[in-house]
A and B are shown apart, each in its own frame.
Chain A
Amino acid sequence: DQQVKQNSPSLSVQEGRISILNCDYTNSMFDYFLWYKKYPAEGPTFLISISSIKDKNEDGRFTVFLNKSAKHLSLHIVPSQPGDSAVYFCAASARSSASKIIFGSGTRLSIRP
């Protein structure tokens, strides 16, 4: 039973355009959400996070949006750059869960010239 779902296994976006990666969750106890970026042969690295008390968090080219009623979040990257090509994992946690992070299956983003 996947509690965090990323339904698009891959996404291709032209350089300079906006990349939108989507994520859905089922557990209403989740109150903190994170996005990670992963290159081959490396571990995931933290990108951006959002608390459930907010609906938007922005950090440079990266913005995460949270829609609690729909149990949906998205990561926007604009403008997309070649170095953004990687696998992006959506993840969620509940404050009561002692730092356990539940991951989605990832979306492979490819930025084409």
Chain B
Amino acid sequence: GAVVSQHPSRVICKSGTSVKIECRSLDFQATTMFWYRQFPKQSLMLMATSNEGSKATYEQGVEKDKFLINHASLTLSTLTVTSAHPEDSSFYICSAQRLAGTLETQYFGPGTRLLVL
């Protein structure tokens, strides 16, 4: 099956610093990637939809200046948490959809656990 990787798998940072998380589709081209966050025992909440070569579309309540998304190529999207605070500590997970793919062909990465001290 298709593989989506995320790097790093976990990161601990100090409050006020910025953290970049990468999402890569390893064996297919993804025109669309999605970023989610998950708090403990809660659902995956969609943060934004990222299309290659264009600006990301953010969900209501998600600060676009805080969560910077870049989708520079068909295999890479990055999420940068700027000026991170403890409340940003969460599990961040991306998914990638094949070109002309269906919902079933939206593949998820293993996630990145962020802890802000």
Listed in ascending order, the chain A residues whose CB lies under 8 Å from chain B are 2, 4, 9, 32, 34, 36, 41-46, 49, 89, 93, 98-106
Closest to B4 in A: A43
Closest to A100 in B: B46
Whether A42 contacts B97 in the complex (CB less than 8 A), given A4-B43, A99-B103, A103-B43, comes out as no
Would A43 and B111 count as touching, CB distance under 8 A?
yes
Closest chain B CB from A102 CB (angstroms) = 7
Would A32 and B43 count as touching, CB distance under 8 A?
no
**B97 contact set on A, CB distance < 8 A:** 99
Instruction: Decide if B62 is an interface residue (CB 8 Å cutoff).
Output: no
**A106 contact set on B, CB distance < 8 A:** 41, 43
Whether A43 contacts B43 in the complex (CB less than 8 A), given A99-B106, A100-B34, comes out as no
Number of A-B contacts (CB under 8 A): 58
Would B108 and A44 count as touching, CB distance under 8 A?
yes
**A105 contact set on B, CB distance < 8 A:** 41-43
Closest chain B CB from A73 CB (angstroms) = 15
Q: Report Cα–Cα, A51/B106, bound state, in Å.
A: 16
Would B110 and A42 count as touching, CB distance under 8 A?
yes
Closest chain A CB from B116 CB (angstroms) = 20
Would B49 and A43 count as touching, CB distance under 8 A?
no
User: What are 10 pairs between A and B in contact, CB < 8 Å?
Assistant: A32-B103, A34-B103, A41-B9, A42-B111, A44-B44, A44-B108, A98-B32, A100-B34, A101-B46, A104-B43
Within 8 A of A (CB), among B36-56: 36, 41-46, 49
**B65 contact set on A, CB distance < 8 A:** none
Closest chain A CB from B38 CB (angstroms) = 9
Which of B32, B42, B104, B108 sits near A43, CB closer than 8 Å? B108
Whether A34 contacts B104 in the complex (CB less than 8 A), given A42-B110, A43-B4, comes out as yes
**B103 contact set on A, CB distance < 8 A:** 32, 34, 49, 93, 99, 101
